[in-house]
Amino acid sequence: MNSFEKVCNDKGLRITHQRSEIFRILASNLTHPTVENIFNKVREDLKTISIDTVYRTIATFEEYGLVKRVQLDNITRYDINLSLHHHLICSNCKKIEDFYWPDFDKMQLPNTIPGWGKVDMKQVIINGLCHQCKKLKK
């Protein structure tokens, strides 16, 4: 929470109760939530908040570099982890976890890529079964 307030102060973003609440949910154990996920959660406390407000607040957070938008499983989600990382997606429970792969990050792209165009990021998505789902399927 301190970091949210610090970033807001540093970047001149006004701290409102709504923004604090939405950020708190983004930073909670809910990983890679969609706007709908955040809306459903924040509504528990802020009963009158609209989904448009949540959309706008998250767009502001994105603009100020507080969250990163990620496209995972064909769904737009928001990631509070701003460091370079990759994702593991369980095809059964749909749980998304972060993992780090510094060797990959350092790797050169194949020669064919620069001819294709401009690369903004390279990210790995690994699909499979998480530990818990693997156990259940046995």
Phi and psi, residue 127, nearest 5°: -100, 145
By C-beta, is 20 or 81 nearer to Zn ion?
A: 81
Q: Name the minimum Å distance from CB 12 to Zn ion.
A: 27
Sign of CA dihedral 40, 98, 15, 75: negative
Neighbours of 6 (CB within 10 A): 10
By C-beta, is 22 or 90 nearer to Zn ion?
A: 90
C-alpha to C-alpha distance for 51 and 126, rounded to whole angstroms: 31
Q: Name the minimum Å distance from CB 33 to Zn ion.
A: 11
Do 89 and 126 contact (CB within 8 A), yes or no? yes
Number of residues engaging Zn ion in binding (CB under 5 A): 8
Pairing of strands 68-72, 125-128: unpaired
Stretch that binds Zn ion, among 20-28, 50-58, 74-82, 111-119 (CB under 5 A): 74-82
Task: By CB under 5 A, tell whether 16 contacts Zn ion.
Answer: no
**Which of 16, 92, 104, 122 is close enough to bind Zn ion by CB under 5 A?**
92
Q: Which residues bind Zn ion (CB under 5 A)?
A: 79, 81, 90, 92-93, 98, 130, 133
